[in-house]
Amino acid sequence: MPIDVTKFEVLKFTSRLLFIGIGSIIPLCFSPYSVSFIMSLYMYAILAITWNMLAGFTGYVSFGHVVFWGLGAYATAILIIKVGLPWNIAWLLSGVVGCGFAFTVGIPTLRLSGVYFAISMLALSEAVKVAVAYLRGVTGGGGGIYLPPLISLNTAYYLMWAVFATVYLTTCFLSRTSFGKFLLAVREDEIAAQSLGINTAVIRIQIFVLSSFFASLAGGLYVLNVCFIDPKTAFDISLTIKAILMTVLGGLGTLEGPIIGTLLLGGFSELMWARFPFIHKVLLGAAIMAIVALLPRGVVPSLKGLRWWGISSRSTLKGDK
């Protein structure tokens, strides 16, 4: 089937590439503080996009997304310290560990629906936190694991940037494939999708595993950069909530929503953290309530349908005659 390329889509594609490209020159022109701040934004964006893959495209809202990030971090640290692997192999394997875990827990939990899935994922992340603290011999228990500094800030930055670019372009690509359409079908009406011959259980597991792969990679990079991980940081529920909130703020189920939400909320959070170190979490809680109550559809859907530079999303390359 020939793809009907419109002027608007060309513009969208080039601006996407430009937006990603800008990231490559940041370490050349900013201070290490800014670089690590922007790197943390990339990390949040990865978490938000991967959360959106599941929630936005299939309607399965997970309240325990952080568990994959935390497992990725722990897997990387353990593979380096206890197994003695080089950091790059350990990092890539951590993604595989995340996939394996997602596959295992996905089979029972993805059978649940709605609120029950959300709560069981929340309970799962708490249970894994407890289990990691309990398995002292492997994980170092509640005290956490220290790593020697293995990679420079710039290496970590570029890897995080690369993961971000991959995950972003993957969602853009997925939304155009039949797989992406299947996901939307599952979200809109699961029974109708099944009756059309879509194996919804397999579709859900696939996207769940894919989203946790990238989340685990982000966790692995975090620990390589920070050189320390403990159960409290690794399975901190506020990380899940930030990812959710960034997506909801930007627009659930949109491609750019998680990124725009990350920029807005990440910027806001950094500003608050610097100005009001003691009450910034109170403000975060208030911000969550305000966003959910006032902007439940998010920023991106509210912007859709506007004309950008005189080009509406309807006009084609040949001009509309």
Partner 1 sequence: MVTQFLNVLISGIVIGALYALAAEGLNLIWGVMRIVNMAHGEFLMLGSYVAYYLFIAKHINPFVSLIIAGIVLLASGWITSRFLIRRILDGGEMIGLLFTFGLSIFLINMGILVFGGQFKTIAYLSGTLSWGPVFVSKPKLVAAIVSLLLSIAMYCFLRRTKPGAVIRAVASDREMAEQCGVDANRVFDIAFGLGAALAAMAGVLVSISFPFSPLIGQAFILKCFAVVVLGGLGNFLGALLAGILVGVGESLAAFYINVHMSHAVAFIIIIVTLLVRPSGLLGGRS
> x/- site string to partner 1, residues 233 to 262, per CB under 8 A?
-----x--x--xx--x--------------
The number of angstroms, rounded, from the C-alpha of 222 to the middle of its chain's C-alpha atoms is 13
The footprint of partner 1 on this chain (CB under 8 A) covers a number of residues equal to: 39
Does residue number 143 form part of the binding site for partner 1 (CB under 8 A)?
Answer: no
Among 5, 10, 115, 192, binds partner 1 (CB under 8 A): 115
Q: Which amino acid is at 219?
A: G
How many Å apart are CA 230 and CA 74, to the nearest integer?
8
Region of 67-75, 131-139, 161-169, 195-203 interacting with partner 1 (CB under 8 A): 131-139
Structure tokens at 265: 């909320």
CA dihedral (87, 92, 98, 104) positive or negative = negative
Q: Which residue from 13, 134, 173, 228 is in contact with partner 1, where contact means CB under 8 A? A: 134
Determine, following the binding rule CB under 8 A, whether residue 53 of this chain makes contact with partner 1.
no
Choose the binding region for partner 1 from 26-34, 113-121, 202-210, 309-317 (rule: CB under 8 A).
113-121
Asked if 270 and 289 touch (Cβ cutoff 8 Å), the reply is no
Does the protein bind partner 1 through residue 112 (CB under 8 A)? yes
SS3 188: helix
From 5-13, 79-87, 96-104, 291-299, give the range in contact with partner 1 by CB under 8 A: 291-299
Q: How far apart are CA 117 and CA 104, in angstroms?
A: 15
Among 86, 108, 143, 267, the residue binding partner 1 under the rule CB under 8 A is 108
Reading the block at residue 64, the tokens are 């325990």
167 part of the interface to partner 1, by CB under 8 A? no
**Spatial separation of the C-alpha atoms in residues 53 and 252, rounded to whole Å:** 10
Dihedral, CA of residue 70, residue 72, residue 78 and residue 84, to nearest 10: -160
Query: Where on the chain is the footprint of partner 1 (CB under 8 A)?
Result: 61, 63, 108-109, 111-112, 114-116, 118-120, 122-124, 126-127, 130-131, 133-134, 238, 241, 244-245, 248, 278-279, 281-282, 284-289, 292-293, 296
